[in-house]
Structure 1
Amino acid sequence: MARNVLGGELLPCSHEPLTGFYRDGCCNTGGQDMGLHLVCAVMTAEFLAFSKGAGNDLSTPREEWGFPGLKPGDRWCLCMERWVEAFQAGFAPKLVLEATNELALEWADMATMKEYAV
């Protein structure tokens, strides 16, 4: 069973929209998840614009992929590398620590994640 960064059971990030690499609502990962979708982030307009500018448009619906497009306030399991990139650029979205996979601690320290906790 996956654990969160606080040491407890990994809680769901979002079922509406349905998130997670495995589309199970949780920030679970495995060998096929090359992007490491580990952090449960709360979308902001600033982050969505940043991500689009970085080549990953998360706000435009993609019906062929069953992707509804994200809006501010939505929770989404983000790739760890994208969150770190956004953090370094000053656009990192807030995190739901109970739904953020403990493996995220390999990329960001707990103090930083607590600073960005909702």
Structure 2
Amino acid sequence: MEKEAAVNVMGGALAACSNDPKTGFFRDGHCNTCAEDHGSHTVCAIMTVEFLAYSKYVGNDLSTPLPAFFFPGLKAGDRWCLCATRFLQAAEEGCGPGVDLEATHRRALEVVPIKVLQAHAAPAST
């Protein structure tokens, strides 16, 4: 599996999304992607209670730990490389999580319009 260029949706270098919990298709802390990443885990999302409840409701429980898969379960405030289609679905339903644009891979733009990502943008970290 060869990683695509690590470029964010603004054309800059892809920033880290989260190392605690360790996220990303490659579990490298970044929302890197490749041809084998069919879910396009490219949106660096900041979890909210509303989004976690919505995700569980639509069949993707991100809050329950799965130790066998080294998955700690997510809570509000955690950052996670989310599938672009799930982000867009949640945004359209009015419960999209916050987004770190600097840590969101440009490939997310194949699914999510930049204006939708910008509408959910979290304040830039300092």
Aligned positions, number? 118
Q: Are 2:98 and 1:98 aligned?
A: no
Q: Which amino acid aligns with 1:62?
A: L
The letter for the 2-side match of 1:18 is K
* Alignment TM-score, normalising by the size of structure 1: 0.97
Residue 25 (1) aligns with residue 29 (2): yes
Gaps of 5+ in 2: none
Q: What stretches of structure 1 of length at least 5 have no aligned partner? A: none
Distance 2:97 2:52 in 1: 9
The one-letter amino acid of 1:53's match is Y
Shift of 1:88: 1.1
Identity of aligned residues (%): 53
Residue 73 of structure 2: which of 47, 69, 72 is its match? 69
**Superposition pairs of residues 11-90 of structure 1, within 5 angstroms:** 11-90=15-94
User: Structure 1 segments of 4 or more deviating over 4 A?
Assistant: none
Q: Distance in 1 between matches of 2:15 and 2:46?
A: 15
Equivalent residue letter for 2:23: T
Q: CA RMSD in A?
A: 0.8
Q: Deviations over 1:52-100 (max 9, x none)?
A: 0111000000000000000000000000110011011111001000000
CA deviations over 1:1-21 (Å, ceiling 9, x no partner): 310001100011000000001
CA contact (8 A) 2:24 2:81 kept: yes
Q: Name the amino acid aligned to 2:53.
A: A
TM-score (norm: length of structure 2): 0.91
Give the Å deviation of 1:114. 1.2
